[in-house]
Structure 1
């Protein structure tokens, strides 16, 4: 979620630093508290992004994996 919602209006969700395959490997999180920190960072990134959007932003075009979407469509996706 952090990748998708960071710089949501200006960059594709497929950030250069992102490695999708590695996201499904054991990342060494060994406790519930570590998992909670990662979980909360993702949700906070989403909430901050949505809070920062204006009504006018909803009709802007952004790209996800190279495919154009209106912001409102991207949110629903």
Structure 2
């Protein structure tokens, strides 16, 4: 099971997931609130650019593993 999940975690998946985390941190940042108030288009571009990447694994061996693991 672990090998199948590890094989599905490619560099692209890890990069996209990390970029989504960084975007979330930027949008929630107190220091950038003033900047986003002056530049609402920047906030909109970050919010629209936010794409959640889901790891899709199609394997009967890991079908019974709960999502929180």
Q: TM-score range by the shorter chain?
A: 0.3 to 0.5
Q: Which has the higher strand share?
A: 1
TM-score, normalised to structure 2, is 0.36
| Structure possessing the higher relative contact order (Cα contacts under 8 Å, 6 or more residues apart) | 2
TM-score, normalised to structure 1, is 0.34
